[in-house]
Copies of this chain bind each other. A is one copy, B any other.
Amino acid sequence: MPHLEALLPLLSLDRLPRTGWLVAGVPNPETIAAHSLGTALVVLALGPKVEPRLDVDRAVALAVLHDAPEALLTDLPRAAAECLPSGAKAAGERRAAELVLAPLSEHAWQRFEEFRAQGTREARFVRLCDQLHLGLRWLGYRREGARVPGGFRSGLAALECAEFAPCAALRAEILAAADELAGERGRS
């Protein structure tokens, strides 16, 4: 049953949590599936505003697939990746992608490879949207009352957004909203 064998392992994506949030103290974080969908929605919000034009639909497919290997590898937060030998996480993703995406379809495999190689504008744009979704979720959890370590803000502020003006615009909005929130809490 080739289709089932390819699709059933991907169901884990809607059970596996984004573990970085657990470590950061968010008790009910989103799953890997939800993050992937959220990244695709950021692509759909910003992509059509990018100049020169992007192939937005292809970028959406890249976003949908960008974390699919984590169905096997799970979500390794930064601290975990830094404990592993240099390059090990990337090698693990590549191997997991072979096992999980190659059986899905040649199309899926090529789209993932395009994302991983970071050689096209679409691939670089999706990487930024991935980071911006992290920022959005950080803002979202803070608005709900979670207190999350300050490292997220500086990471977001340091993102290199020059290639894609709409990404810079969203980043600025997130930072402004987060600062406003911090101000409300009397930490201005």
A179 to chain B, nearest CB (A): 12
A93's nearest neighbour on chain B, judged by CB, is: B83
A110's nearest neighbour on chain B, judged by CB, is: B48
| In-complex Cβ contact of A33 among B7, B12, B38 (8 A) | B38
Copies of this protein chain in the complex: 6
Q: Which of A48-81 contact B (CB under 8 A)?
A: 48-49, 55-58, 60-61, 64-65, 68-69, 71-77, 79-80
A67's nearest neighbour on chain B, judged by CB, is: B37
Q: Are A44 and B65 in contact (CB under 8 A)?
A: yes
Q: Which of A123-156 contact B (CB under 8 A)?
A: 136-137, 139-140, 143-147
Q: Name the interface size band of chain A.
A: 35 or more
- Residues on A facing B (Cβ under 8 Å): 1-4, 6-8, 10-17, 19, 22-23, 25-28, 30-31, 33-38, 40-42, 44-49, 55-58, 60-61, 64-65, 68-69, 71-77, 79-80, 83-85, 87-89, 91-93, 95-96, 99, 104-108, 111, 136-137, 139-140, 143-147, 166, 169-170, 173-174, 176-177, 184-187
Q: What are 27 A-B contacts defined by CB distance under 8 Å?
A: A1-B177, A6-B45, A8-B136, A8-B140, A11-B140, A12-B22, A14-B30, A16-B22, A23-B71, A23-B72, A27-B144, A33-B34, A34-B37, A37-B40, A44-B65, A44-B111, A46-B105, A48-B105, A48-B106, A49-B105, A56-B61, A74-B74, A74-B76, A83-B92, A83-B99, A88-B92, A185-B186
